[in-house]
Amino acid sequence: MPRRISRNPLAALLLAVLLAVLGAACSGPDRSVSSDCPDDAPTCPASGSSASPGTGPPTAAGSASGAPAAETACASPRDCGFPDAGTTGPRIALTPHETGYMAVRTDGLVIRGWDITGSLDIYANDVTVIDTKITSDNWWGINLRPGFSGLRVLHSTITAVPGKGPDNGGVDYAVSNMGGSSIEVGWCDVSVFGDALSMGQGDLHDNYVHDIVPFVNLGGEWQHTNAVISGGGNTGHLIIRHNTLLNATSVQQGASGSIGLFADNGVVRNVTVDNNWIAGGAYALYGGSTGATEIKVTDNVFSTQYHPSSGGYGVVAHWNHSGAGNVWRNNRMSDGRPIQPEPAS
């Protein structure tokens, strides 16, 4: 005998209410991030972030499907879950601070909620700059001096005033690492600087680097511009993971790379370039050249938004095919086409 279904309207209403209550109980609490982030919570991620500081590297699930972003054709960084203005920068209201050049000499200092007109020169250990904006007219926005360690720059905007910098009006570095220790830069919105993130060792993740401004430097030449640059000779590990790195500068105005790994100061070694959106430059990626070892380039999307080949001249130059530990895997154009570096000449 078929089961009877009640058609009593009141019973149906009560059943609907009961199911709604049970559904809410099973779904658990709302886990979206509050706009109020506690003062003692530097690990509180912004909405859309892929990880929190100190929890290890973000996953490669850069698309809504859960597959690595490099396996999916994308029209824009946001389409594949890469950082943009909506997932980077400060999460709280800021208070203006006209600091000018500021030397930081206090270990463990936390700078949070500042809207800085000036620059920070770090002569201290374990300094954290978080939920802050820096507008610089110096050589850098933030600089770590040799002999100091533990600098973290999180959820901040770092920009500059074009034409007001010391390099013939240009401004060179958003975050500069002069020493041999690692810097963490995460969830930051970075613009204007010629060589935005400059370091041989560090953990650069979930950042949005864009709108680099070209300039003629004090030497009378177009400054070579890069979203991320390493000069080689590094002693630690440089991790570049899940960033949007854009260099729209034309080749005629000094474009170098979106990621420039150069052997200017010694051999390039121990660099991970994983799951980034990369676009622009003369070549989108300079791979370290002869002698480079342990360079791992995996799961990246090379975008055609500025040039058909991602960079003005191509995707990658100076890739050392024979270097020990060098890996090139699952890197694709933004339309989904796989990329392989050209054989060494």
Residue 91: predicted pLDDT: 98
Characterize the bridge pairing of strands 133-136 and 110-112: unpaired
pLDDT of residue 189 exceeding 80: yes
Q: Which residues pair with 291 in a beta bridge?
A: none
The string of pLDDT tens digits covering residues 150-180 is 999 999 999 999 889 899 988 899 999 999 9
Sequence-distant (6+) residues with CB within 8 A of 74 are 63, 80, 277, 301, 303, 334
* Cβ 207 vs Cβ 183: under 8 Å: no
pLDDT of residue 210 exceeding 90: yes
**Distances in whole angstroms, Cα of residue 206 to Cα of each of 46, 77, 102, 285, 295:** 11, 12, 27, 18, 20
Q: How confident is the model at residue 72 (pLDDT cuts 50, 70, 90)?
A: low
| Total-model pTM | 0.81
For the chain, what is the mean pLDDT?
83
Residue type, 199: M
CA atoms within a 13 Å half-sphere pointing along the CA-CB vector of 51: 21
Burial class (CB in 10 A: 0-12, 13-18, 19+), 110: middle
The string of pLDDT tens digits covering residues 114-155 is 999 999 999 999 999 999 999 999 999 999 999 999 999 999
The string of pLDDT tens digits covering residues 323-335 is 999 999 999 999 9
**Strand residue runs (E) in 44-188:** 95-104, 110-112, 114-122, 128-130, 133-136, 140-144, 152-154, 157-160, 173-177, 184-186
* Cβ 189 vs Cβ 211: under 8 Å: no
Residue 46: predicted pLDDT: 39
The string of pLDDT tens digits covering residues 37-47 is 444 455 444 33
Distance CA 258, CA 333 (A): 15
